[in-house]
A = this chain, B = another copy of it.
Amino acid sequence: MTGVYVLGVGMTRFGKHPDKDAADLGSAAFQEAVTDAGIEPRQIEAAYCGHVFQGMVTGQRILAQVGLAGLPLSNVENACSSGATAIREASLAIRAGEHDVVMAVGTEHLTTKFRGALTPDPSDPEAAVGATMPSVYAMRARRYMEEFGMTRRQLALVAVKNKRNAAANPLAHFRKEITVEDVLESRPIADPLRLHDCSPVTDGAAAVVLVSDRAVKKLGNGRAIRLAASTLFTGTVDVEPTTMTFEPLTHKTALAAYERAGIGPEDVDFAEVHDCFSIAEVLRVEGLGLFERGAYPGAVERGEADIGGRLPINPSGGLLGKGHPLGGTGVAQVVELVRQLRGEAGDRQIEGAKVGLAHCRGGKAVGIEGAACTVQVLVK
């Protein structure tokens, strides 16, 4: 069975792109990833496109724009894990021996479709009773504060950290540092969460070129990074008293990824995690086993999760700072991992990192159904 490597990466600026659509953004990321890999477009053998709201055959529209109409391509959807799922499926196509050079692209154009926040599905009974994403995460934040004594100020520091990292990321949606006071004084969304605790509605795309052992030998540019694990599980949303402050699905997916990669959480040097809300980052890093339960807010306060800290979390700025174009998000996380592991992360470079982890989690707010979780491990 062949290994899988990331040979090239590309990413558009995240933010508002009123003059472009999802295919335009996807094409730009696709082309940059080809160039970055140091290969010709015609060497791409197949592609996967992750998105949520962009309509039928979006990936084919990207192929047409980059002059590659005709390739095998599958569009994949797994809510906020759609882009990460595209990477997983691309890696399976390589491991199956079907293809040696496969593009995974994630894209989403949201700002002209949604104003302020994503509109809940009107057929969704949870949304009808007010159990929207912000309100569910607000409940989880309140519960976590109660259980572990996290202060509102500690929670704000997660947003402050990620916006600071984003300010050092030229492709981030937000490039302005904020203070704890800015968070606490921002508009209330769902108590205790305020505007700066919430990820924005963003347009953007990212792409990665994945290759086999054989292709990395033939095409290798000396900068290939190994995709040591790409795991996916679905599951239920965590609103039971016993699971609200911990994520069994994140935990299970991480354990499978660690086993596949032959590492433990102690080997992870930095991570990009799905911080759709400030509290989400807390729950996720603990679910991933990167920090002990209840320990993360204090660790953030002591700077342990900063770039330069013991275990940097979301050096790209995360969803809170870099932005959250659903399909683009999971692929952009891997782009950040690769740039960090190559030493190409500029002002936000983490020194000496060898193992990076990316975590995505998506789906409906509550209910017995509808979640998807991915964990990817990249090793230098």
Contact = CB atoms under 8 A, between A and B. Distances in A.
Given A71-B234, A73-B234, A369 B60 contact: yes
Contact of A56 (B52, B56, B231, B252): B52
A61 to B, nearest CB: 5
A75 B76 contact: yes
A60, A63, A236, A363 pick with most chain B CB within 10 angstroms: A60
A65 B234 CA distance: 13
A369 B75 contact: no
Interface of A: 1, 52, 55-57, 59-61, 63-65, 69-79, 85, 88-89, 92-98, 121, 231-236, 249, 252, 362-364, 368-372
Nearest to A71: B234
A73 B121 contact: no
A1, A55, A96, A372 pick with most chain B CB within 10 angstroms: A96
A235 B98 CA distance: 19
A74 B233 CA distance: 9
Contact of A93 (B65, B79, B92, B97): B92
A114 to B, nearest CB: 14
A153 B70 CA distance: 35
A184 B370 CA distance: 47
A2 to B, nearest CB: 9
A60 B234 contact: yes
A61 B234 contact: no
Contacts of A235: 69-70
Nearest to A369: B64
A212 to B, nearest CB: 11
Contacts of A77: 56-57, 74-77
A243 to B, nearest CB: 13
A367 to B, nearest CB: 8
A283 to B, nearest CB: 18
Contacts of A71: 233-234
Nearest first, the 10 closest Cβ-Cβ pairs linking A and B are A64-B369, A95-B96, A96-B96, A75-B77, A57-B370, A92-B96, A72-B232, A60-B370, A73-B234, A70-B235
A17 B232 CA distance: 32
B368 A73 contact: no
Nearest to A75: B77
Given A89-B89, A92-B98, A98-B92, A72 B234 contact: yes
A59, A65, A92, A232 pick with most chain B CB within 10 angstroms: A92
B121 A69 contact: no
A52 B371 CA distance: 19
Contacts of A65: 369
A76 B74 contact: yes
Contact of A69 (B52, B59, B369): B369
Given A57-B364, A78-B57, A234 B92 contact: no
Contacts of A370: 56-57, 60-61, 64
